[in-house]
Amino acid sequence: MAISQWIQALQDITWPEFLQPHVEVLLLWITWSVDYIDFDYLEYLLWLLLPFIIVFVLPIFLVFFIYGCVIFLHIYGLRHQIREAYHTSYWNGARVAIASFWDGVGSVWHGYELHGLENVPDEGAALFIYYHGCLPLDVYYLISKLVIHKKRSLHCVGDKFIFKIPGWRPLCKMFSIMAGTVEECTAQLKDGHLLCIAPGGVREALFSDPNVYDILWGKRLGFAKVVIGSRAPVIPMFTENCRESFRTPEWGRTFFRWIYEKTKIPLCPIYGGFPVKMVTHLGKPLTFDYDNVTPEEVRRAIKREVRSLIREHQKLPGSIIRGIAQRFQSRTKEQSSAEEIELLHQNGHHNGHIATIDADDETTDRTLGRDHEEIEEIGGL
């Protein structure tokens, strides 16, 4: 009776003309629900199943609460760094607090480790060039490690669509994420900042094959021009299992890529959140003869180093189950190296991806006929 009176009250209201049709449809749906759905039976089922809900659902919430406490304790363990940061600046304090949270998330959910932190300078510029996973969680974790352990902020180049997401702009500003041009990135490095760029950008994030971790840089030269213009050392970077935590479905990948190439809108669906082991490897800094080297040579050298990190540290083909199992086992470099090479070659012979990995920059991604990529596009998060 109360619901019927409420529906009648809504019908008596004079709605704006543009809203009236929508209200009528809504009231029709509500009326149908009241007439045809037996709420007494639903209440009976709720009471009948309540013991099972308590038995099976509450333990899940309990696990989440426990992990929440673990993350809180992780942050509390860094309270001195947070307090010190707040003494210098409220924004810096907020940055350290957020970094502590993400450092805790990485430690709990992905068992995150960072190898090669000694290659990051305590002061002065450095450019990180990395392989882009489906979602850049490894970059979030790396930023957190650098803020906490090096007390340095890592500036990042992000895709332009990031800044159009409601509410994200303050966070991007705090962590120095920018849709940088070649000139802006060069200026950042000349000012002595740390900067990271993913030359593959969104294309590599969404459409790289997790079976082979193929590098989709195409003809992009913007990052190489930044290297030459800034004369900064380059730190190649790769994170194990970065394509196993989140993935894009194989079905419809060609269609979604066609949409992206035409509109630059990343409409490809993403699934995952799997707690795989993630280890970021930072290579030795690279320097060049900046007066004589060409952008093509810089790109080729950096790409070779990133590819080398992938081959050395990533088991192929990628596997979500194996990535989760790595959380519970010790690993040595000698284990199954011959098997990985054989799997890589088998996968290449079966689907042609081995040519994508070993091809020159000019022939990368030729399977889709993309020889029209932007020369100046840098890439990013």
Could you list the active site residues? 132
Interior CA angle at 274 toward 272 and 279, to 5°?
120
Query: Do residues 302 and 136 touch, judged by C-beta distance below 8 A?
Result: no
112 in Cβ contact with 327 (< 8 Å): no
Asked whether the beta carbons of 154 and 142 are under 8 A apart, the reply is yes
Rounded Cα gap, residues 363 and 369, in angstroms: 9
Please, what is the angle between helix 295-313 and helix 222-230, to 10°? 110
Q: How far apart are CA 333 and CA 257, in angstroms?
A: 35
Beta-bridged to residue 2, according to DSSP, are none
- Cβ proximity of 143 and 99 under 8 Å: yes
Q: Which residues does 312 contact at the CB level (< 8 Å), separation at least 6?
A: 281, 333
* Rounded Cα distance, 175 and 319, in Å: 32
Amino acid type, 118: E
- Specify whether the CB–CB gap between 162 and 177 falls below 8 A: yes
Give the whole-angstrom CA distance, residue 256 versus residue 113. Answer: 33
Please tell me the total number of residues recorded for the chain in this structure. 381
Q: How far apart are CA 305 and CA 236, in angstroms?
A: 6
Tell me how far apart the alpha carbons of residues 250 and 351 are, in angstroms, rounded to a whole number. 14
**If we measure between CA atoms, which residue out of 119, 82, 118, 112 comes closest to residue 97?**
82
Q: State the DSSP H helix or E strand holding residue 69, giving kind and residue range, or none if neither.
A: helix 39-77
Residues 6+ apart with CB under 8 A from 335: none
C-alpha distances (whole Å) from 191 to each of 43, 123, 126, 188, 198 are 65, 11, 11, 5, 20
